Amino acid sequence: MTETNPEGATPLPLAGIRVVEVAHYVAVPAAGCLLADLGADVVKVEVPPRGEVYRRSRPRYAGYESSFPENPAFHMDNQGKRSIALDLTDAGARDALLRILARADVFVTNLLPGRRKKYGLDHDTLLARHPRLVMGAISGYGLGGDEADRPAFDYAAYWARTGMMDVMRDAGQRPSLQRPGIGDHAAASNLVCAILAALRLRDATGEGRYVETSLLQTGLHVLGNDVALALATREPVKRHDRDRAPNPLWNSYPVAGDRWLLLVMIESDRYWAPLCRAIERPDLLADARFEDALARADHAGALVRELERTFSGRSLEAWTPRLEAEGLIWSPVRTLVEAIDDPQARAMGYFRELEHPDAGGFTTVGPPFRMQGVELGHGPAIAPVDSDAEEILREAGLDDAEIARLRGR
């Protein structure tokens, strides 16, 4: 069961809410994890008897030297849940799932619509049986249209299909592959938002309902600034060119030691003098080519070259106190190994410690928000596959003989 807050603390907001999850890989499990972080009791139904493939994708399969026995990303998105394995091709397993769902407030899935219908898990069927149920789903392209049953990962539906893969590159550069789970985690947050709204409506009306998002919809929303411009102008996106950035104070620059930093002074006139002081270039302030934002845009290539030459003369360690002293908006371009030791992230508790019977203690990522007076997401790591099966089945009302038949004993 998901742990509650320490004694005397504010109750977790979803305490007493029961969630059943039939999903694999990232997007819907990540949503289920956020619901568990908020205090819901989340039962994860792993459809393959051995547990889902994503659980078994060890770091060594991707070329890491780590001996971690399962997938750390799986545990990030499934902590705080209970596990049961059910083969939904078996009628007895489907019946057991329906009995588990009879106690649920929320059902979340990423099964394609055709499979939901095949197993009697489509929202029309479930809401007819359980009118107070809130059902949430994430798919690649949405429930309607010609592509409802089209399989997808976020690489395709969120990254490439939305135009994001094309715009997320500088002029003259080839498209690159996104990192794992980026679109999935964005879609997870969207689904949780919709589920919470549906629960609020159920409190008011007594009626459950179906809510969904898709990877395509999420990608278009995340890329919304560019999408809105494209919708209004029907013009190609203005791609960033760091060698001739219209605002050279909003650009990346190499520094000594083969590292980079990023300036983000969007209000360039406000920060122009402080930047020149920080980099010890008073001559740039006196240069008429750079006297204001428009002049700097007209001579962007020349200014980018000046800044690049100056920044490349010192290391990140040398630049940091100079840029900080002037209150500039900037960041070092961190490696991921550096980012996980970020002092601010550590001070804010953005990571958490988990214990696992096979992996021992390890650190993972916590929920993406905080709530005053509430300690979110202190549940345990998800246990080995199917480890909570008998407890879950007994709660659903199955007796010893039914459990024995289902478990093949």
d(CA 284, CA 297): 14
Q: Is there a domain that residue 13 lies in?
A: no
Res. 342: pLDDT tops 90: yes
Looking at the structure, do residues 88 and 185 belong to the same domain, yes or no? Answer: yes
Q: Is the pLDDT of residue 3 over 60?
A: no
Mean pLDDT over 204-222 rounds to 98
Is 4's pLDDT higher than 50?
Answer: no
Whose tokens are 């715009």? That residue is 167
Residue 408's pLDDT is: 78
> Does residue 357 form part of some domain?
yes
Q: What is the mean pLDDT of the chain?
A: 94
Question: 25-39, 299-313, 326-340, 350-364: which has the minimum mean pLDDT?
Answer: 350-364
List the CATH number of the domain containing 108: 3.40.50.10540
Instruction: Tell me: pLDDT of 1 over 80.
Output: no
Q: What is the pLDDT of residue 381?
A: 86
Helix, coil or strand: residue 136: strand
pLDDT, position 357: 81
Residues 103 and 210 in one domain: yes
Collect all residues with Cβ–Cβ distance below 8 Å to 234 and sequence separation of at least 6: none
> What is the Cα–Cα distance from 407 to 389, expressed in whole angstroms?
9
Q: Is a pLDDT exceeding 70 seen at residue 349?
A: yes
Q: What is the mean pLDDT of residues 164-179?
A: 92
Q: Is residue 4 part of a domain?
A: no
Residue 308: pLDDT band with limits 50, 70, 90: very high
DSSP letter, residue 161: T
Q: Which two tokens stand for residue 300?
A: 């962007």
Residue 66 lies in a domain: yes
- C-beta separation of 380 from 3 below 8 A: yes
The domain that holds 260 is classified in CATH as 3.30.1540.10
In a domain, 318, yes or no: yes
End of a domain among 279, 313, 333? Answer: 333
Distance of CA 159 to the CA centre of its chain: 14
| Paired tokens of 379 | 């549940």
- Amino acid of residue 202: R
Tell me the pLDDT band of 2, cut-offs 50, 70 and 90.
very low
Last residue of a domain, one of 316, 333, 350: 333
Residue 229 pLDDT > 70, yes or no? yes
- For residue 6, the model assigns a pLDDT of 52
Report whether pLDDT(5) > 70.
no
Q: Same domain for 145 and 265?
A: no
Structure tokens at 296: 């700097």
With cut-offs at 50, 70 and 90, classify the pLDDT of residue 409: low
Q: Is residue 328 domain-shared with residue 346, that is, in the same domain?
A: no
Amino acid identity of 194? A
What interhelical angle do 268-278 and 316-325 show, nearest 10? Answer: 130
Quick one: 329 and 347 in the same domain?
Answer: no
Residue 379 has pLDDT above 80, yes or no: no
Same structural domain, 250 and 111: no
| Residues 51, 100: Cα–Cα separation, whole Å | 18
Same domain? 264 vs 288:
yes
Q: What is the pLDDT of residues 27-78, one digit of tens each?
A: 999 999 999 999 999 999 998 778 888 998 899 988 999 989 889 999 999 9
Residue 161 has pLDDT above 50, yes or no: yes
Within-domain flag for 31: yes
One domain, residues 150 and 67: yes
Mean pLDDT, residues 312-340: 97
Together in a domain, 273 and 374: no
**Is the residue at 236 inside a domain?**
no
Number of domains in the chain: 2
Pair (215, 354) in one structural domain:
yes
Q: Is 278:320 a contact under the CB 8 Å cutoff?
A: no
Average pLDDT of the residues in 215-234: 97
H runs (alpha helix) in 154-263: 154, 164-167, 182-205, 215-222, 224-233
The amino acid occupying position 169 is: R
> Per-residue pLDDT for 247 more than 60?
yes
Q: Give DSSP secondary structure letters for 28-59.
A: HHHHHHHHHHTT-EEEEEESSTT--GGGG--G
- Which of 53-67, 89-103, 107-121, 225-239 has the weakest average pLDDT? 53-67
Its domain, for residue 41, covers 18-224+342-406
Range with the poorest average pLDDT among 95-99, 292-296, 305-309, 375-379 = 375-379
Q: Cα–Cα distance between 268 and 283 in angstroms, integer?
A: 17
Task: Give the C-alpha separation, 42 to 19, whole Å.
Answer: 5
Domain C-terminal end among 290, 316, 333: 333
Q: Are residues 74 and 197 in the same domain?
A: yes
Rounded to two decimals, the pTM is: 0.93
Residues 27 and 187 sit within 8 Å (Cβ to Cβ): yes
Tell me, yes or no, whether 59 lies in a domain. Answer: yes
Q: Looking at the structure, tell me whether residues 198 and 257 fall in a common domain.
A: no
Q: Which of 47-51, 145-149, 151-155 has the lowest mean pLDDT?
A: 47-51
Q: Give every CB contact of residue 88 below 8 A, 6+ residues apart in sequence.
A: 22, 47, 94, 97, 119
Using only the alpha carbons of the chain, give its radius of gyration.
Answer: 26
Structure-block tokens of residue 107: 């059902």
pLDDT confidence of residue 301 = 98
